[in-house]
Amino acid sequence: QVQLVESGGGVVQPGRSLRLSCAASGFTFSSYAMHWVRQAPGKGLDWVAVVSHDGTKKYYADSVKGRLTISRDDSKNTLYLQLNSLRPEDTAVYYCAREDVGATSAGSFNWFDPWGQGTLVTVSS
Amino acid sequence: DIQMTQSPSSLSASVGDRVTITCRASQSINSYLNWYQQKPGKAPKVLIYAASSLLSGVPSRFSGSGSGTDFTLTISSLQPEDFATYYCLQTYTTPITFGPGTKVDIK
């Protein structure tokens, strides 16, 4: 079945780095744009970044630009998020999600499905 | 950046109630609006895309409407499994932005 599984979270000190992974299975990974979304404890959802299906286009939320880098390895069916210069406010559950696309009479639209189970990153000294 | 707001931020309802949640965008997003349901400790689940199109497998008691800047999610008859937090999401342009969420709990 279509599945995304995140890994790589943990406790890290401020200023340090971490790399998250998202292993995809059950679909042709290279055909889909992929996203990272995070959720701080007890808070709402925040979109973090997207990478196009071919890896050529990447977009980031302003709050993470320059510190977080999204990438993909289609040979491994894996999405990555490199987190550098971590701050306490980066503490969150990080989800990866596939961008699915469908058509209506009004045009082509996208949504996030499926999502992984999430991996918790805690930035604390 | 496009800002998304939702109202109410929370509501209490009973099984069988009709529930309506509103989402507003700071500028027109056409119909590039999704609705997600999230239960505690779980990943979000998409319910609706293109403002009003129901994903396969989503119960028909869920419906969405709107275009431009104003959107609604309606649950026609609230069921026990519907108690959750609901988020709208605009995919019109990057940065993609979520609404702050509406928590639906038991009255």
pLDDT in tens, B48-97: 999 999 999 999 999 999 999 999 999 999 999 999 999 999 999 999 99
Question: Cα separation of B46 and A111, whole Å?
Answer: 7
By C-alpha distance, the chain A residue nearest B43 is A117
A106 — pLDDT class (breaks 50, 70, 90)? confident
Look at B100 and A44 and tell me if their CB atoms are within 8 Å.
Answer: yes
Side-chain-side CA neighbours of B41 within 13 Å: the count stands at: 0
Give the pLDDT confidence score for residue B73 in this predicted structure.
98
Q: Is the pLDDT of residue A1 over 90?
A: yes
Please state, rounded to an integer, the average pLDDT across all residues of chain A.
97
pLDDT band at A48 (very low <50, low <70, confident <90, very high): very high
Residues of B with CB under 8 A from a CB of A: 1, 31-32, 34, 36, 38, 43-46, 49-50, 53, 55, 87, 89, 91, 94-101
Q: What is the pLDDT of residues B7-18, one digit of tens each?
A: 999 999 999 999
Q: Strand (E) positions, B1-107?
A: 4-7, 10-13, 19-25, 33-38, 45-49, 53-54, 62-67, 70-75, 84-90, 97-98, 102-106
Mean pLDDT, range B24-46, rounded to an integer? 98
Query: How far, in Å, CA of A39 to CA of A3, rounded?
Result: 20
For chain B, say whether A42 makes contact (Cβ under 8 Å): no
Strand, helix or coil at A90? helix
pLDDT for position A103:
85
Per-residue pLDDT at A13 exceeds 90: yes
Q: Do B95 and A112 touch (CB under 8 A)?
A: no
pLDDT at A107: 85
